[in-house]
Amino acid sequence: MKLALIVIFLTLAIGCTKETEYNLLKGNLKGVVYGDGNNPFHVLLEGNNLSITTTTDDLGQYLFTGLTTGTYNLKFTREGFGTNYIYGFPFIGGDSVSETVPPVSMAQLPNASVSNLVITMTVDTIQNQFYRYIDKIINWTADFHGSSAHFMAYLNSDANVSYKNYQKRYFVQEGYNILELTDYDTIFFKKNTTLYMVMYPYETTGSKYPDMNTGCIVYSGVQEKGVSNVASLIVK
């Protein structure tokens, strides 16, 4: 009995030692940021009780050294550009180990805005011997200001609709003022309920990331300051 307890104790002790050694493994984390190369981008790394900032070089590359094994979040910023994130990057260190973070594309924010957004809905019914199809069309009008020629529309049954909180997203352009709701979309936007819509300008979409609060995919190139008013309608 005493011998068995000693064996168990030694096994646990060895296991704890290996876990401790594993957590102390160190290595380097590197990556590249694509965008306007005239000025560096700032990269913030957080995790394992660390908060470190570095900048990219002339080629857009960055490097963090001496990191312990763990999970890290990265934030990419520069004035005039949309903010980008990489969440939960798993890093395993070790002698001469360098892990590479997926590349990030930074988007310059346009000097543009949207105002006076108005939406209405029409319903088209197409019938033949094989099927009956109901097409719900959102007609929209808005005023555009500034240099951007690209816009995104976000729809939600929640009045707090935004580019981080939506159920449906559309790429739209001036002059094509309709959005079509598919049969799948009617799962979110049922008859006699309120649908809310908002628009944002963008120049290029940039890299995308999931919002940690809503789970929605966020395009970093969206110009948050250029957001339109929230328009609404009753679904027919």
Q: With 90 as the cut, is the pLDDT of residue 12 above it?
A: no
Residues 14, 69, single domain; the answer is: yes
Shared domain check, 218 and 133:
yes
Query: What pLDDT does 186 receive?
Result: 79
Report whether pLDDT(7) > 50. Answer: no
The secondary structure of 176-205, three-state, reads CCEEEECCCHHHCCCCCCEEEEEEEEECCC
How many folded domains does the chain comprise? Answer: 2
Asked if residue 132 and residue 73 are part of one domain, the reply reads no
User: CA–CA distance from 156 to each of 52, 77, 195 (Å)?
Assistant: 37, 28, 6
* Last residue within a domain, chosen from 71, 105, 139: 105
What's the CA gap between 157 and 167, in Å, rounded?
8
- Whose tokens are 């108005």? That residue is 118
Alpha carbons 172 and 226: distance in angstroms, whole number: 15
Question: Do 148 and 130 belong to one domain?
Answer: yes
Query: Over 60: is that where the pLDDT of 22 sits?
Result: no
Q: Which of 74, 105, 136 is the last residue of a domain?
A: 105
Q: Is the pLDDT of residue 107 over 50?
A: yes
Residues 121, 43 within the same domain: no
Residue 233: the pLDDT is 96
Same domain, 14 and 62: yes
Domain enclosing residue 80, as ranges: 2-105
Tens digit of pLDDT for each residue in 182-212? 777 878 898 899 999 999 999 999 999 999 9
Helix (H, G, I), strand (E, B) or coil at 13: helix
pLDDT confidence of residue 113: 96
Same domain? For 206 and 92 the reply is no
Judge if 31 and 90 occupy the same domain.
Answer: yes
Please, what is the end-to-end C-alpha distance for the chain in angstroms?
A: 77
**Collapsing DSSP states into helix, strand and coil, what is residue 34?**
strand
Share of the chain above pLDDT 90, in %: 68
Least confident of 33-42, 58-67, 181-190, 201-210: 181-190
42 and 153 in one domain?
no
Q: From the CB of residue 177, how many other CB atoms can be counted at a distance below 10 Å? A: 13
Residues 120, 49, single domain; the answer is no
- Domain containing residue 123: CATH number: 2.60.40.10
pLDDT of residue 126: 62
Q: Which runs of E-coded beta strand occur in 69-131? A: 70-77, 84-91, 98-100, 104-105, 112-127
pLDDT of residue 106: 96
Q: How far apart are CA 201 and CA 172, in angstroms?
A: 10
Per-residue pLDDT band for 134 (boundaries 50, 70, 90) equals low
Domain limit, last residue, from 85, 105, 125: 105
Q: Are residues 42 and 118 in the same domain?
A: no
- Calculate mean pLDDT across residues 80-93: 94
Q: Which residues contact 68 (CB under 8 A, 6 or more apart)?
A: 23, 24, 25, 26, 48, 93
Whether 11 shows a pLDDT value over 90: the answer reads: no
Instruction: Categorize the per-residue pLDDT at 125 as very low, low, confident or very high, splitting at 50, 70 and 90.
Output: low
- Are 216 and 129 found together in one domain? yes
Average confidence (pLDDT) over 5-34: 62
- 3-class secondary structure, 44: strand
Q: What is the pLDDT of residue 127?
A: 54
Choice among 20-24, 76-80, 147-151 with the minimum mean pLDDT = 20-24
